[in-house]
């Protein structure tokens, strides 16, 4: 039986990923502060930004489970605020969870993954491909994450390990309920389901894809932002101002 470790699988995208991999016969391990409200193979209560917590989790997985084949770095946090009004301590917390914890977890479990010629899946964002006003700190953390994914993939090519960079747009989860900052995000007319995303990620990981964009129409937004950057900036700012009065 193959084993997958997912961070933040208690809710949202992580929960749907865990349910998908359970359905496919995987042994699923969740690392998060709160236990999921569904049956999972193994839950380990863990603050993934705390190195001592991660050391204990690693020992449990190594000794009791015997390693993993797949790591899905899913846990993350958002911020809706201007750079001027952003609190530096909140930006640091954002990077600790969205970027530095991903690096630490991946480095810790990579020898197991290499041994099994498995995969690493990093849940990034459209904000990691195109800058977003009033989401600058979040965008910066996801740009860093995508750069990590792409450079890590190149380094692991000869080891038979794939790294999938998942570029996620607006999905129907409670993500916006727990973000830093005082701004409100503009509404998006097309919001897809986390269940569909989990299916897409599973297939992409099985096929050892490099990257997927979900929902797919965000590919056009990314293209447009590069083709007409001034227009993109004006329209983006306009939508944020409308959403925030």
Chain centre distance of CA 43:
19
Q: Over the range 17-35, which residues count as b (16 or more CB within 10 Å of their CB) and which as e?
A: bbbbbbeeebbbbbbbeee
Task: Please indicate, yes or no, whether the overall pTM of this predicted structure exceeds 0.75.
Answer: yes
pLDDT in tens, 101-121: 999 999 999 999 999 999 999
Q: What confidence score (pLDDT) does residue 187 get?
A: 82
Q: What confidence score (pLDDT) does residue 211 get?
A: 98
pLDDT in tens, 169-191: 988 887 777 788 888 988 876 67
- Indicate whether 199 pLDDT > 70: yes
Q: Provide the token pair at 158.
A: 């000869």
pLDDT in tens, 43-85: 999 999 999 999 999 999 999 999 999 999 999 999 999 999 9
Looking at the chain, the whole-number percentage of residues with pLDDT higher than 70 is 99
Question: Does residue 38 carry a catalytic annotation?
Answer: no
Average pLDDT value for the chain = 94
Helix (H, G, I), strand (E, B) or coil at 73: strand
First to last CA, the chain: 53
**Which structural domains are found in the chain, ordered by start?**
3-243 (3.40.50.720)
> Of residues 21, 80, 138, 218, which has the active-site annotation?
138
pLDDT in tens, 121-131: 999 999 999 99
């Amino acid at each position: 039986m193959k084993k997958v470790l997912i961070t933040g699988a208690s809710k949202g995208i992580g929960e749907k990923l865990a349910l998908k991999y359970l359905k496919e016969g995987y042994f699923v391990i969740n690392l998060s502060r709160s236990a999921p409200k569904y049956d999972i193979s193994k839950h380990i209560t863990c603050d993934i930004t705390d190195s001592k917590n991660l050391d204990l989790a690693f020992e449990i997985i190594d000794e009791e489970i015997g390693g993993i084949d797949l790591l899905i770095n899913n846990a993350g946090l958002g911020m809706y605020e201007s750079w001027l009004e952003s609190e530096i301590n909140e930006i640091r917390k954002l990077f600790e969870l969205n970027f530095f914890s991903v690096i630490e977890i991946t480095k810790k479990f990579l020898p197991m993954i290499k041994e099994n010629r498995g995969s690493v899946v990093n849940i990034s964002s459209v904000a990691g491909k195109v800058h977003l006003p009033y989401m600058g700190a979040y965008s910066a953390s996801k740009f860093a994450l995508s750069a990590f994914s792409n450079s890590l993939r190149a380094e692991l090519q000869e080891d038979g390990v794939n790294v999938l960079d998942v570029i996620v747009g607006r999905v129907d989860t409670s993500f916006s309920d727990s973000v830093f900052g005082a701004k409100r995000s503009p509404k998006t007319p097309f919001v897809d389901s986390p269940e569909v995303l989990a299916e897409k990620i599973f297939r992409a990981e099985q096929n050892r894809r490099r990257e997927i964009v979900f929902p797919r129409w965000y590919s056009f937004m990314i293209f447009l932002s590069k083709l007409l950057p001034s227009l993109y900036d004006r329209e983006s700012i306009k939508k944020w101002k409308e959403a925030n009065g």
